[in-house]
């Protein structure tokens, strides 16, 4: 039997910009505030981003807005998933002690402190990106916001939603 090999010479990578947002509010409230301040129309997707982390199946809230006038797609995705609490028994002493630890897993593990990511697909000039970051930083509930260089991001494949 004859075998055929097919090689991919050049894999085209997705070009997108990524903004990290630190805040302590719920995902629906963050989407509302971004809609209000950036004049977007982010809406909750029917299905969340499902991701398997070894023994945990995590779901991250996903909001999307497709802007037909600028040919851009915006995705707001949560970075943290809080699952059921684990009971950890320690028998290092005379009495058995149980400690309850909340289970928390991250979509992008190297950015554990980030609460949300705003992914902007298609071309966006640096001035526009800077303006967006400045606008988001003006929201009172937002603690910090900054642009992430995706070239140095190890788990950027986790941000492919389709």
- 147 burial class (0-12, 13-18, 19+ CB within 10 angstroms)? middle
Tell me which of 88 and 21 has the higher pLDDT: 21
pLDDT tens figures, 6-40: 554 444 455 889 999 999 999 999 999 999 999 99
Mean pLDDT of the chain: 83
CA distances from 75 to 3, 66, 91 (A): 42, 9, 46
Q: Where are the alpha helices (DSSP H) in 1-47?
A: 27-38
Residue 34: the pLDDT is: 96
Residue range 46-67: mean pLDDT, rounded: 86
Q: By C-alpha distance, which of 55, 63, 60, 7 is closest to 30?
A: 63
For the segment 83-106, the average pLDDT, to the nearest whole number, is 62
DSSP secondary structure letters along the chain? --------S-PPPPPEEEEEEEE-S-HHHHHHHHHHHHT---EE-SS-EEEEETTEEEEE-EEEEEETTTTEEEEEEE-EEEEEEEEEEE-SSSS-EEEEEEEEEESSGGGTT--EEEEEES---HHHHHHHHHHHHTSTTEEEEEEE-GGG-TTGGGG---
Among 107-111, 130-134, 143-147, the minimum mean pLDDT is found in 107-111
**Does residue 35 contact residue 41 with C-beta atoms inside 8 Å?**
yes
**What pLDDT, on the 0 to 100 scale, is given for residue 82?**
80
């Amino acid at each position: 039997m004859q075998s055929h090999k097919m090689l991919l010479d050049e894999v085209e990578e997705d070009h997108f910009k990524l903004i990290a947002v630190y805040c302590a509010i719920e995902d629906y409230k963050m989407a509302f505030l971004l809609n209000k301040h950036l004049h977007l129309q982010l809406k909750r997707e029917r299905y969340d981003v499902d991701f398997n982390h070894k023994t945990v199946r995590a779901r991250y809230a996903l909001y999307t807005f497709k802007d037909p006038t600028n040919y851009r797609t915006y995705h707001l995705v949560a970075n943290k998933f809080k699952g059921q609490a684990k009971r950890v028994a320690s028998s290092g002493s005379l009495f058995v002690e149980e400690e309850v630890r909340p289970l928390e897993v991250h979509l992008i593990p190297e950015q554990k402190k980030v609460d949300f990511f705003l992914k902007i697909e298609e071309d966006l000039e640096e001035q526009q990106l800077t303006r967006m970051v400045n606008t988001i930083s003006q929201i009172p509930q937002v603690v910090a916001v900054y642009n992430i260089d995706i070239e140095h991001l190890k788990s950027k494949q986790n941000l492919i939603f389709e």
